Structure 1
Amino acid sequence: MTVRLAGVGKRYGRGGRWILRDVALALPPGGIVRVEGANGTGKSTLLKVLAGVERADRGTVEVAGRRAYVPERFPPALPFTARDYLRQLARVRGLSAGQGRRRADHWLERFGIAGYADTPIGRLSKGTCQKVAVAQALLAEADLLLLDEAWTGLDRAARGELDAAVAERAAAGGLVVFVDHDPGRLAGLTTAGHLVKDGTLHGIPVAAAGPDGPRTAIVVRAERLPEHLPGNPGRTPLADGAVRLEVAAAHSDTLLRRLLGSVPPVHVHSVAPAEHAEGGRP
């Protein structure tokens, strides 16, 4: 699923200024793309156009597959409990009732808010409400995930879970486009960056975890490893039945979090720099 924008322009009102002008963009699947820019330059507008929340006034927008979006401001005054809201969104996105229940419960548990599942959204704290906002997008397992300052208001553990979820979505072939005020957000995982300035896009370098950078080896034992893992680690079966996973060091923390939370359980035997790990390099 490749996203393509060609000659895209957006303004508010017939006589309003152009927020976006002649934007061209092509993004392949499996990427994590950062969008930067000063306040009011059009970052949020770009994400809304990609999400289909706003229509471009000029140009073409090609987005195939499922889209999910976390807006900069989530409306808390909704007539649902947290659990009911997530299940409702699951139905809207075409999931069966069973899938909706399982995914809603999974993300409520993963973000540590299962205890608030039956609390009306309007009575949740700002941070808990933000976790619900993020969960509603993640449960869709979308082809295109759009995050507009989604980390704002989350506690440290929840920020780590969102980092891991982004890596997992990209590892599964999804495309993630995000805006965040922290310049270090997803450093080493980001595959491309774009600066919005004067209504146009400018490519910017990102700190990528290249194939020649430091790597980490994780030796595990498991009845069954998850099919998709953050960082797309190499897998080498060892003689004793264990499996050696090798991944760019920047992905290792996210990969470990995913392994330790897997069902059925994955037993982590050792973690070491790849050149010093058991079994050597594959």
Structure 2
Amino acid sequence: MTVRLTGVGKRYGRGGPWILRDVDLALDAGGVIRIEGANGSGKSTLLKVLAGIERADRGTVDAPGSRAYVPERFPPALPFDARDYLRHLGRARGLTAAESLRRADHWLERFGIARHAGTPIGRLSKGTCQKVAVAQALLAEADLLLLDEAWTGLDQAARGELDAAVTERAAAGGLVVFVDHDPGRLAGLTTAGHLVRDGALRPAPLPAAEPDGPRTAVVVRAERLPEHLPGRPAREPRADGTVRLEVAAAHSDALLRRLLHATPAVHVHAVGPATTEGTPS
């Protein structure tokens, strides 16, 4: 799957200023794409165009497959409790009643809010509401996942779960496009960055993938390794047909999740601290 924007322009109101101008973009499945720019630069507008919530005034948007979106602001005044809201959206996206319930309960549990499953959304705290907003997008297992400041308002544990979910979605062949105010968000997971400035889109440098500190080595055997791996590990082919991957320890969990979800299968032979001998200790 490739998502393409060709000559896309967007403005609000006839004669209004162009928020986006002549945007060309091609994004491949499995990518984790960061969109950055100043406040009001058009980042959220770009995500809304990709999500199909806003229509481009010029150009074409080709986004095959399913899409899911976490807005910058989630409307809490909805006539549902948390579980029923997630179940309702699951059904709207074509899931069976049983599967909608299973996925709703899975994400409520994973984000630590199962005890609030029966609470009306309007009575939830802002942080819990944000977890529901994120859960509604993740339960869809969409081909294109769009996250607009989705980490804002989440506690540390929930941010970690969202990071892990992004890794899993990309590993399963999904495409993730996100906006976040933290310049280090998903460092090591991001495969490309783009800057919105004056309505135009241009490449942006990726956040550093290798924080200081200990490193982890993973020895694997695979017919083909995924092109994009969390932490951008160094790859060392070995005489026995395995490949040694070395990555900052901070990214090792995300790397292992990606490897274990890969297609074709990747067989993990050894994991441990990187040593000067070039193997896990």
Q: With structure 2 as the length reference, what TM-score do the two structures score?
A: 0.81
Match of 2:274 in 1: 273
Secondary structure, aligned partner of 1:276: coil
Distance between the aligned counterparts of 2:105 and 2:182, measured in 1? 29
Secondary structure, aligned partner of 2:182: coil
- Offset at 1:100? 0.6
CA contact (8 A) 1:47 1:146 kept: yes
Give the letter for the 2:114 counterpart: A
Question: Structure 1 stretches (4+) deviating beyond 3 angstroms?
Answer: 207-210, 230-234, 244-251, 255-259
Match of 2:64 in 1: 64
- Offset at 1:247? 6.7
CA contact (8 A) 1:189 1:208 kept: no
Give the letter for the 1:96 counterpart: T
CA contact (8 A) 1:164 1:258 kept: no
- Offset at 1:96? 0.9
Matches within 5 A, 1:147-226: 147-207=147-207, 216-217=216-217
Give the letter for the 1:276 counterpart: T
Distance between the aligned counterparts of 2:126 and 2:21, measured in 1? 35
Secondary structure, aligned partner of 2:13: coil
Give the letter for the 2:67 counterpart: R
The percent identity for this pair of structures is 77
- Offset at 1:204? 1.0
Distance between the aligned counterparts of 1:2 and 1:256, measured in 2? 25
Secondary structure, aligned partner of 1:162: helix
Segments of structure 2 that go 5 or more residues without pairing to the other structure are 220-228, 236-242, 260-269
- Offset at 1:17? 0.8
Segments of structure 1 that go 5 or more residues without pairing to the other structure are 220-229, 235-243, 260-268
CA contact (8 A) 1:190 1:208 kept: no
**Closer, same or farther in 2 for the Cα pair 1:246/1:115, shift >3 Å?**
farther
- Offset at 1:111? 0.2
- Count of matched residue positions in the alignment of Structure 1 and Structure 2: 251
What value does the CA root-mean-square deviation take over the aligned residues? 2.9
